[in-house]
Amino acid sequence: MYFLYLDDSGSVRNINENNFVIGGISIFENHMHWFIKEMDDLAKQILPQNPHSIEFHASEIFSRRIPPWNGMSKQSAIEVIQAVLSIVSKSYTQNSAFACVVHKKSFLNLDPMNLAFENLCSRFDLKLKRIYAITGESQRGLIVMDKNSYESGLNLLSINFRELGTRWGILRNISEVPYFVDSQASRLVQLADSIAYSVFRYYEAKDLSYLEPILVKFDSEDNKIHGLVHLHNTGSCYCPACLCRL
């Protein structure tokens, strides 16, 4: 089984931001323990006396307003976010990143959250289908999200998916409705948060420094990055997601 951990970055309602991102990582069940241990070890390095109090939330680390990040230099805060992302970089190849960026003004009549979520469900499903086509292994998928993200709306959306299918076809491999957890208790949702943040920083602030090291980890096949999607109608775009689709 594969688990797709997702979190969002940016705000749907903030008119000062152009983009909204949902991003995260699909993890093979046997590798979950490795990711959690890597995150816990990093927390121990930062606060040895109370590592479990550390929640890796990239925007909070970057802003350095709340403990334990408030005494930190800007450079040290950046290094913490990079250290979290390096866990993604060095993970086994079965585990791949996913993210969907929505340019909000391009879709004024649609909910960016639903749009991104629908797209990511389809792409996760395609990954599971590809595994079956290549290896013959039938793998199921479960989506796990931070419970602060539109819980009831997304549950309804997911039920509609199962009954009606999406515009890409019926999702056969993804189990049940999304499973919601408290990000404070889930290191893997925190990892998803860092991936979503790295994508948001690139599209919102043209800051590639966080995304670049993990770009190779996005689900891809034959140089086509299936796992990173940029939804917009602003004309030509040369971002990594749009470039590979030209």
- Which residues are near Zn ion by CB under 5 A? 230, 237, 239, 242
Which lies closer to Zn ion via its Cβ, residue 39 or residue 99? 99
Alpha-carbon span 196 to 193, nearest angstrom: 5
Alpha-carbon span 225 to 8, nearest angstrom: 20
Q: How many residues does the chain have?
A: 246
Which lies closer to Zn ion via its Cβ, residue 106 or residue 139? 106
Task: With H, G, I as helix, E, B as strand and everything else as coil, classify residue 22.
Answer: strand
DSSP states along 79-144:
HHHHHHHHHHHTS-TT-EEEEEEEEGGGGTTS-HHHHHHHHHHHHHHHHHHHHHHHH-----EEEE
| 30 DSSP 8-state letter | G
Closest CB 242 distance from Zn ion, rounded Å: 3
Which lies closer to Zn ion via its Cβ, residue 78 or residue 237? 237
Dihedral (Cα; 211, 37, 192, 95), 10-degree rounding:
70
Which lies closer to Zn ion via its Cβ, residue 12 or residue 242? 242
Identify the CA nearest to 130 among candidates 7, 219, 215, 43.
219
Closest CB 241 distance from Zn ion, rounded Å: 5
Closest CB 200 distance from Zn ion, rounded Å: 14
10 Å Cβ neighbour count for 206?
Answer: 8
Which lies closer to Zn ion via its Cβ, residue 187 or residue 230? 230
Alpha-carbon span 39 to 84, nearest angstrom: 7
Alpha-carbon span 238 to 234, nearest angstrom: 12
Closest CB 104 distance from Zn ion, rounded Å: 14
Alpha-carbon span 203 to 205, nearest angstrom: 6
Which lies closer to Zn ion via its Cβ, residue 72 or residue 239? 239
Closest CB 60 distance from Zn ion, rounded Å: 27
Closest CB 10 distance from Zn ion, rounded Å: 15
Closest CB 101 distance from Zn ion, rounded Å: 8
Which lies closer to Zn ion via its Cβ, residue 142 or residue 215? 215
